[in-house]
């Protein structure tokens, strides 16, 4: 997850100075999403929507430039809200997966 978030944030993988901070933000975002009501199975699957939400969270908090924090936190909260509405059962049924067998 760290490498993917760094890539999405435009940070070269060779740059490791932010790794500890980013890892902390990833954990914080996952915990916040869980407490906000996002289904744990979505968090465990690390769906694209979850990764996007985490990216917004990291972008909002990383670095010293806070001019766009509000923008990214707003995007994060909107994405989390949509994730709380997502039903993993419906997602699986839409893909043709039958869990009752």
What are the angstrom distances between the C-alpha of 92 and each of 40, 69, 71, 72? 15, 34, 32, 30
Give the model confidence (pLDDT) of 77-98 as tens digits.
999 999 999 877 555 444 554 4
d(CA 47, CA 83): 10
On the 0-12 / 13-18 / 19+ scale of CB atoms within 10 A, 85 is exposed
Taking the whole predicted model, whether its pTM rises above 0.75 is answered as yes
CB 58 within 8 A of CB 22: yes
d(CA 48, CA 50): 5
């Amino acid at each position: 997850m760290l490498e993917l978030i760094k890539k999405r944030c435009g940070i070269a993988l060779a740059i490791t100075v932010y790794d500890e901070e980013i890892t902390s933000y990833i954990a914080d975002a996952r915990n916040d999403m869980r407490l906000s009501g996002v289904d744990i199975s979505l968090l465990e699957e690390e769906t694209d929507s979850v990764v996007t939400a985490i990216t917004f969270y990291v972008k909002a908090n990383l670095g010293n430039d806070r001019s766009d924090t509000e923008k990214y936190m707003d995007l994060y909260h909107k994405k989390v809200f949509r994730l709380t509405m997502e039903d993993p059962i419906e997602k699986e049924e839409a893909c043709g997966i039958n869990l009752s067998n």
